[in-house]
Amino acid sequence: MVFWKFYNKVLGIPVDVIAPHAESINLSPTFVGKVKKLYKRIICVSDFDLAGVKFARQCRDHGFEYKFVSTSRGWVEDQYKVIDKDLSDFLTNHGRGKTIKLLNSWEIKP
């Protein structure tokens, strides 16, 4: 929902967003075929953790682009973790201006 709102409402760029139930799913050939017929550019955005990296690799293998919101790591609650694992974290930690700059850097056009 955050991606849809930022692109459609804040940036004024109409995009469709599909969110899997989890990054651990396998994209079926039927799903991949239908999505490729509907869209000329497909970008998968996942967390920068083990499940997210595996999902990004799967997306790449299907010919989709993939992005991570952030790969910055730091100490959180005595563990070395990704600071901004998703767009909501990035927005909370960096504000609207930097979030817009990040999304614009992906060069998504209407």
Q: What is the pLDDT of residues 29-57, one digit of tens each?
A: 999 999 999 998 999 988 888 888 999 99
Q: Over the range 93-107, which residues count as b (16 or more CB within 10 Å of their CB) and which as e?
A: eeeeeebeebbeeee
Is the pTM higher than 0.85?
no
110 within domain boundaries = no
What local confidence, expressed as pLDDT, does residue 1 receive? Answer: 58
What local confidence, expressed as pLDDT, does residue 17 receive? Answer: 85
Confidence category of residue 60, pLDDT binned at 50, 70, 90 = very high
22 within domain boundaries = yes
| Domain total of the chain | 1
Range of the domain at 37: 2-105
